[in-house]
Amino acid sequence: MPHLTSAAVGTAHTGVRTGFGVPGYAHPLVAPAEWAELTRPGTPLHWVVLNVAGGPGTRPDPHCLAAVARLRTAGVRVLGHLDTTFGARARADLLGDAHRYRDWYRVDGFLLDRCPTERTALPDIRRTVTALRASGDDPHIVLGHGTHPHPGYAENADQLVTFSGSWSDYRWSQVAEWTADYPPDRFCHCVHSVPRGHLDEALRIARWQGAATIYFTDRTDQGGRADPWETMPGYWDEIVSRIGTGVSE
At 37-92, the pLDDT tens digits run 999 999 999 999 999 999 999 999 999 999 999 999 999 999 999 999 999 999 99
pLDDT interval class at 163 (50, 70, 90): very high
Structural domain contains residue 151 = yes
Q: Does residue 19 carry a pLDDT above 50?
A: yes
Structural domain contains residue 238 = no
CA distance 237 to 247: 13
Structural domain contains residue 4 = no
Structural domain contains residue 76 = yes
Residue range(s) defining the domain that contains residue 205: 17-233
Structural domain contains residue 249 = no
The conformational region for residue 119 under phi > 0 = left, psi -120 to 50 = alpha, else beta, is alpha
**pLDDT of the residue at 221:** 86
Q: Specify whether the CB–CB gap between 243 and 18 falls below 8 A.
A: yes
Average pLDDT, the chain: 92
pLDDT in tens, 90-146: 999 999 999 999 999 999 999 999 999 999 999 999 999 999 999 878 999 999 999
pLDDT interval class at 6 (50, 70, 90): very low
Q: Does residue 4 carry a pLDDT above 50?
A: no
**pLDDT of the residue at 55:** 96
**pLDDT of the residue at 192:** 97
Q: Does residue 2 carry a pLDDT above 60?
A: no
pLDDT interval class at 232 (50, 70, 90): very high
Structural domain contains residue 12 = no
In CATH, what number is assigned to the domain containing residue 134?
A: 3.20.20.80
Q: Does residue 228 carry a pLDDT above 60?
A: yes
Quick one: CA dihedral 91, 94, 97, 102, positive or negative? Answer: negative
- CA 167-171-172 angle, to 5 degrees, is 125
**pLDDT of the residue at 245:** 65
Count of domains for the chain: 1
